[in-house]
Structure 1
Amino acid sequence: MSFTHVVTFSWTGDAAEDPAVVDGIADALRRFIADADLPGLRSWSCGRDAGIATGNADFAVVGVFDDVDAFAVYRDHPEHRRIITEQIAHRVGQRTAVQFAG
């Protein structure tokens, strides 16, 4: 059994207008994943929407964890929280998320 976290963002402001801003967010998140000790993280990816369908969100993050506790370590990690506060939260027009076991 695993626990999967999926979050999507639709950007506003500079993130919606400047691809370099979103690239910086993706780079910061990828560095966090590469550098953090996150026991129970099975896989993690993020990326910009491919643009092949209308109405999609602009960006997604998908993480697969051993269990809810491993997800909570990721969710609450200080570096993750810092990136959200400093680079993501003020640029989000809409956010959706789902977590599921399976």
Structure 2
Amino acid sequence: MTFTHVVTFTWTGDAADDPAVVDGIAESLRRWIADADLPGLRSWSCGRDAGLTGNNADFAVVAVFDDVDAYAVYRDDPEHRRIIDEQIAHRVGQRTAVQFAG
């Protein structure tokens, strides 16, 4: 059994207007994942919406873990929190998330 985390963002401000801002956020997240020691992380990806359907969020992160405990380590990782605090939180117009076992 695995545990999956999906989060979507609709951007506001400079992130909504400047694709380079979102590219910078994605790069920071990818660099963190590449360098982090996150036991139990099976897969991780992020990216902007492809624009194929209206009313979608602008950006998503999908992560699959061995279990809830591995997700909690990821969620609470200090570098993850720093990226959220410094680059993401103030640019979010709307955030949705779901976590599920399966």
- Length-normalised TM-score, structure 1: 1.00
Q: Which amino acid aligns with 1:94?
A: Q
Q: Distance in 2 between matches of 1:33 and 1:101?
A: 22
Q: Distance in 2 between matches of 1:54 and 1:99?
A: 24
Offset of residue 80 of structure 1: 0.1
Unaligned runs of 5+ residues in structure 1 are: none
% identical aligned pairs: 86
**Runs (4+) of structure 1 moved beyond 4 Å?**
none
Q: Distance in 2 between matches of 1:2 and 1:32?
A: 22
Q: Distance in 1 between matches of 2:25 and 2:72?
A: 21
Q: Distance in 2 between matches of 1:45 and 1:73?
A: 17
Q: Which amino acid aligns with 1:65?
A: F
CA RMSD of aligned residues (A): 0.2
Q: Does 1:78 align with 2:78?
A: yes
Q: Does 1:67 align with 2:67?
A: yes
How many residues get paired? 102
Q: Which amino acid aligns with 2:74?
A: Y
Q: Which amino acid aligns with 1:21?
A: V
- Aligned residue number for residue 15 of structure 2: 15
Listed one character per residue, the Cα deviations across residues 15-48 of structure 1 (whole Å, up to 9, x for unaligned) are: 0000000000000000000000000000000000
Q: Distance in 2 between matches of 1:64 and 1:36?
A: 15
Offset of residue 57 of structure 1: 0.0
- Aligned residue number for residue 41 of structure 1: 41
- Aligned residue number for residue 32 of structure 1: 32
- Aligned residue number for residue 56 of structure 2: 56
